Structure 1
Amino acid sequence: MNSTTIAAALNDSKKPLTKQELIAANIKLLIEQLEAGKSDALTNYLTAMSRFHRYSFGNVLEIARQMPTATRVAGFWTWKNLGRSVNAGAKGIRILAPIVGLRRKKDTDATTDASKQNERALLGFRNTYVFDISQTNGVDLPSLNEVSGDPGENIELLAAFVKGKGIQLIYNEKIAPALGMSYGGRIAILPGQSKAEEFATLVHETAHELLHKAERRTSTTKTTRELEAEAVAFVVGKAVGLVNGNASSDYIQLYQGNASLLAESLEVIQQTSAVILAALETPNGDPQEEQQPADSELEEAA
C-alpha cells in the first residue's frame, strides 16, 4: 500500500479508528513520504506539534497530514461562539474526540449514595471535525503571544521549571565549543550566546534531562537521543515564535523503516515538548493540570 492509498484510506474511513490504528497509519505514511524524497513531511509534523501541543499525539498527526498549514483549530460551534463562521464548503479536519459517560457500577458495588452508584468513564472515541482559522471569517481574534527571534521571558520561565525539577543550571565557559551540556541533574550552558540560541540550547538540554537520563538512555543510540532533543527544541522554538532551521529528513533514516520505533520517538518528542510548553504558559514555571474544555470537539485529552 503506497502513501496515496494510505492517505485515501484514512480520509475515506467512516468508522472511527482506534488511537493505535491512527498513529500506525500516519507513521507509515510519513515513512513513505520521506523515502519518496518529500523531506518537508517531517517538518510539517514537528511544526504541528508546536502549534497544537495540547492535543493528543494521534490528533497532531492527523492535523499535520490533512492540513500542514493549520495554525489554530476549533469546532464549528466554538468558532461561532468566538464571533467567526466557518466558510461555506470548507472541508473539516477529522480528529478523534473522546466519548465520556456514566458507567453503572455492579449491583454489589452500589450504595445508597446516588453520587457513588455511577462513575464517569471513557467509553470510546468518535470522529469529529475541526476547522482552521483560515477556513473562517468574522471578528478578529486577539493575537497569539509570539516573539519573533526573541524568547523574551521564556528563558526565565524555563530556568524556573528546570530548577523546580531539582536540576542545577549553571553557565560555564569551559564547556566550549559545546553550547550546552546535560549531566543528569545538572545543565551547563555556554555564556555569550544570543537569547534565541541560549533558549534553544536550554530546551535541548532540558529535553535530555527529561528523556535520556533513565531507561531510555540505554535503549537508544547517542545519535537518536541528540536528534530527539533537537526535535524538541524545534517544536518549542516554533511555538514561541523563534526562527528555526528546517528539520532534517535524515531523522527518518535512523529508523530504517521501523514504524514502531519512529512512533515511539515522535511520541516522546510530542509529550516532552508539551510539558515544556505548559511550563512556559504558567507564570511560576510549574505546569498545572489543565481543565478539560467544555467543547468536546476540542477533545484535547484524546
Structure 2
Amino acid sequence: MSRNTDNLATIDSKKPLTKQELITANIKLLIEQLEAGHSDVLTHYLTAMGRFHTYSFGNVLEIARQMPTATRVAGFWTWKNLGRSVKSGAKGIRILGPIVGVRRKKDSEAEKDITKQNERVPLGFRNLYVFDVSQTEGVDLPSLNEVSGDPGENIDRLIAFLKGKGIAVSYSEQIAPALGTSYGGRIALLPGQSKAEEFSTLVHETAHELLHQADRRTATTRAIRELEAEAVAFVVGKAVGLVNGNASADYIQLYQGNASLLAESLEVIQQTSSLILAALEPTVDVADKQAVTDVTSEEVAA
C-alpha cells in the first residue's frame, strides 16, 4: 500500500517528539492502513501490547510500527550485560525516554524536612534505541515457563486478583447461551468451557469490570464496550501463549473515522491489559527476572 511519506518523515525525525505527538502520528498511520484494508496491522499493535506491557502506550505503538515481529527488546548495553551482542548492521527501534532533572528546594522548604532536599522533575524526552532479541547473538536467555494452549495457573491468579478488588467469580448454567456476564462487582461464568475458553471469557468479563462500570459505560456504545473487552482478551491471551485467532476486523468500526476515539480506546485497552498481565506474573528468581525483563531504568519512557 502507499503511505503518506510526510507522516512517516515526521515520526522518523531525529528530533524527539512529545508522547502525545508520537501517539497522534502512529494513530493517523494506523487509520490510513485500516482504511486501506490492512486489518492485520491492528493485530500487530494489539499483540505488541501484550509483549511489551511494561512500556508506555506511545512506545508500544512505536515498537509495533517499526518491527511488528519483535518479541523481546532491550538496549545495547542491557543485551551486553545479558551475554548477548547486537549484530553488526542491526537497525535500532527508536523509542522515547524521559530526561529527568533535579530541582533543588529552597533553603526554607528544605529545613522543614531534611530528608527531602531535592525533587526529580521531567524536563522532556530524548531518542533511545532498543533491539529485538532476533537482532542479537550470544548466550541463551533464561525463560519463564510459557503457557501454550492452556492457561495453567493464570485462571487462579486472575480470580485472586479480582477477589482483591472485591469482585466475586461464580459459575452458573443460567447465563447460557452467554459464556460469561459482568454484573458490576460480580462475574458469572458458564461451566463446561475448556480451560482456554474459560480464561479468555474471564479476561473479557474482567475488562468489563475494570473499564465499563463507571463513566466509560455511559460514554461508549455497547458495540464499543464489547470490542474493547474482546481486544483486552486478545492481548492477554496472546501474551500468555494462548492461540485465540486474529484481532477481529470488526474492531475497525470502533473509531468510525474518529482518530481521537481510536487513540483513547487503544490506550485504555493497553492500560487494562497491562494491569491484568501484571497480576498474572508468577514469582521468579531475580536472575531470571533480569534476563527476561523488557526494559531497564534507562529505557523506560514515562
TM-score normalized by the length of structure 1? 0.92
SS of structure 1 residue aligned to 2:217: helix
**Correspondence list, 1:132-147, <5 A:** 132-147=132-147
**Contact 1:204/1:233 (8 A) holds in 2:** yes
Equivalent residue letter for 1:9:
T
Q: Which residue of 2 aligns with 1:267?
A: 267
Equivalent residue letter for 1:7:
L
Q: Which residue of 2 aligns with 1:171?
A: 171
Cα distance, 1:144 vs structure 2:
3.6
- Alignment CA distance shift 1:36-1:294 (3 Å): closer
CA distance in 2, matches of 1:8, 1:151: 42
CA distance in 2, matches of 1:10, 1:199: 37
CA distance in 2, matches of 1:114, 1:101: 20
CA RMSD of aligned residues (A): 1.9
Mapped pair 1:281 → 2:287: no
Mapped pair 1:95 → 2:89: no
Cα distance, 1:6 vs structure 2:
1.6
Q: For structure 1, which segment, 103-112 or 225-234, has the greater mean C-alpha deviation from structure 2 after superposition?
A: 103-112
- Alignment CA distance shift 1:95-1:65 (3 Å): same
Q: Which residue of 1 aligns with 2:6?
A: 5
CA distance in 2, matches of 1:293, 1:46: 17
- Alignment CA distance shift 1:293-1:32 (3 Å): closer
TM-score normalized by the length of structure 2? 0.92
**Contact 1:98/1:126 (8 A) holds in 2:** yes
Cα distance, 1:114 vs structure 2:
5.9
Q: Which residue of 2 aligns with 1:216?
A: 216
Mapped pair 1:151 → 2:151: yes
Cα distance, 1:148 vs structure 2:
0.7
Q: Which residue of 2 aligns with 1:66?
A: 66
Q: Which residue of 2 aligns with 1:288?
A: none
**Contact 2:73/2:295 (8 A) holds in 1:** no
Q: Which residue of 2 aligns with 1:186?
A: 186
Q: Which residue of 1 aligns with 2:116?
A: 116
**Contact 2:73/2:294 (8 A) holds in 1:** no
Off by >2 Å, runs of 4+ in structure 1: 1-5, 105-117, 292-298
SS of structure 2 residue aligned to 1:111: helix
Q: Which residue of 1 aligns with 2:287?
A: none
SS of structure 2 residue aligned to 1:244: coil
Cα distance, 1:108 vs structure 2:
4.6
Q: Which residue of 1 aligns with 2:83?
A: 83
Equivalent residue letter for 2:23:
I
Q: Which residue of 2 aligns with 1:253?
A: 253
CA distance in 1, matches of 2:151, 2:8: 37
CA distance in 2, matches of 1:232, 1:154: 15
SS of structure 1 residue aligned to 2:141: coil
CA distance in 2, matches of 1:293, 1:266: 20
Cα distance, 1:229 vs structure 2:
0.2
CA distance in 1, matches of 2:60, 2:8: 15
Q: Which residue of 2 aligns with 1:25?
A: 25
Cα distance, 1:115 vs structure 2:
4.5
Q: For structure 1, which segment, 211-220 or 103-112, has the greater mean C-alpha deviation from structure 2 after superposition?
A: 103-112
**Correspondence list, 1:32-47, <5 A:** 32-47=32-47
1:39-89: per-residue Cα shift (whole Å, max 9, x none)?
Answer: 101000000001000000000000000000000000000000000000001
Structure 2, unaligned runs of 5 or more: 284-292
- Alignment CA distance shift 1:38-1:87 (3 Å): same
Q: Which residue of 2 aligns with 1:298?
A: 299
Q: Which residue of 2 aligns with 1:286?
A: none
- Alignment CA distance shift 1:4-1:44 (3 Å): farther
SS of structure 2 residue aligned to 1:25: helix
Q: Which residue of 2 aligns with 1:287?
A: none
CA distance in 2, matches of 1:293, 1:159: 26
**Contact 2:48/2:60 (8 A) holds in 1:** yes
Cα distance, 1:112 vs structure 2:
8.2
Equivalent residue letter for 1:136:
T
Cα distance, 1:145 vs structure 2:
3.0
**Contact 1:87/1:137 (8 A) holds in 2:** yes
SS of structure 2 residue aligned to 1:43: helix
Cα distance, 1:267 vs structure 2:
0.3
Query: Could you tell me the percent identity over the aligned residues?
Result: 80
Cα distance, 1:206 vs structure 2:
0.3
Mapped pair 1:225 → 2:225: yes
SS of structure 1 residue aligned to 2:9: helix
Q: Which residue of 1 aligns with 2:16?
A: 16
Equivalent residue letter for 1:72:
R
**Contact 1:98/1:296 (8 A) holds in 2:** no
SS of structure 2 residue aligned to 1:127: strand
1:10-55: per-residue Cα shift (whole Å, max 9, x none)?
Answer: 11x1111000000000000000001011110100000000100000
